[in-house]
Amino acid sequence: MVHNARFWAFYFRQVFKPQVKVLCETFTDRVLPAFDKIDQEAEQYGQERWDRYMSMPAADEDGLDAADLAEQANDAEIAHYEQLSAARQSILNAAVVALYHLVEQQLIDFLRREILQRSEENDARLLNLSELARRLKQRGIELESLPAWPALQELRLAANVVKHAEGNSAEKLRTCRPDLFQYPPFRAEGEAPIPEPRVYMPLAGEDLYVTPGDLQSWCQGLESVLGELADKLEDQR
């Protein structure tokens, strides 16, 4: 049994879950809305570039006429939009890493403060979720049996892909979530894409395309994991 099960059930609900909720809402309600009008920002950027060209004296000395300058301003507008769009995707991808590691740290905090012996709590070899799962199983709680546990494992794979790009986690994630590797505007409704093994720079907003909907779904899954574990702890009283 977990000795302080009642305290930790309370702590999971009143401390850990709100931490996850606030971080999720920070991304979805505060950070992402800053990108809601990037099309307008890009258009304004292109207009400012055009105005600058038109205010330059002897603009045609380099052999550029008004049509050439208009094309350059349009190219600048498109490039600016693409840069802002990539920055938005970078933030969505980075949010995956932050969310997974927050919950991982919460669970390892529980492992160190409650499950491990005092002589073990600073042993880096034991500070992982596999050790937590092993020790809790000895106490009658199976983490892998929690209904929301697969959501945490899926998030772990996504976080690893964001951090490390192509690799073992990317291969596994393609099996369960191939849609994450396809650019959202091109995702066909109900049709699973077949992505190539070519994840290079997800932290630059490329190759892995987490959406706000994905993020919200994972947030709900994380809160469920913490709530389900709290329920298991309460059952031990």
DSSP calls for 62-78: GS--HHHHHHHHHHHHH
CA-based nearest residue to 9, from 120, 141, 177, 124: 141
Residue range of the domain that includes 166: 5-235
Number of structural domains (the chain) is 1
pLDDT band at 76 (very low <50, low <70, confident <90, very high): confident
Nearest in space to 110 (alpha carbons), one of 237, 236, 233, 235: 233
Does pLDDT of 206 surpass 70? Answer: yes
Q: Do residues 202 and 165 lie in contact, with contact meaning Cβ atoms separated by under 8 Å?
A: yes
Residue with tokens 């794979």: 157
Is pLDDT of 57 > 90? no
| pLDDT band for position 28 (cuts 50, 70, 90) | very high
Q: CA–CA separation, 123 vs 152, rounded Å? A: 24
Mean pLDDT of 216-234: 96
Distance separating alpha carbons of residues 109 and 19, to the nearest angstrom: 14
Residue 28 backbone phi and psi in degrees, to 5 = -80, -35
The pLDDT of residue 202 is above 50: yes
Q: How far, in Å, are 43, 59, 132, 224 from residue 66 at the CA level?
A: 18, 9, 67, 59
Q: Distance from first CA to last CA of the chain, Å, rounded?
A: 9
Note the pLDDT tens digit of each residue in 143-195.
999 999 999 999 999 999 999 999 999 999 999 999 999 887 777 666 655 56
> pTM for the full model?
0.89
